[in-house]
Amino acid sequence: MKYTPGQEISATYRTAVYKPRIGGWRQETVNARLEVISPGKARVIIANVGGATSRRQEFNTSGIAAREEGKVKIISKLTNVETI
Fill in the amino acid letter for 10: S
Q: Indicate the pairing of strand 72-74 with strand 41-49.
A: antiparallel
Cα separation, 26 vs 34, whole angstroms: 23
Q: Is 64 exposed, middle or buried (0-12, 13-18, 19+ CB in 10 A)?
A: middle
> What pTM does this model have?
0.87
Each domain of the chain, given as residue ranges in start order, spans 8-83
What tens-digit pLDDT sequence spans the chain (84 residues)? 889 999 999 999 999 888 788 888 888 899 999 999 999 999 999 999 977 667 777 777 888 899 999 999 999 999 999 999
4: Cα within 13 Å, side-chain hemisphere:
1
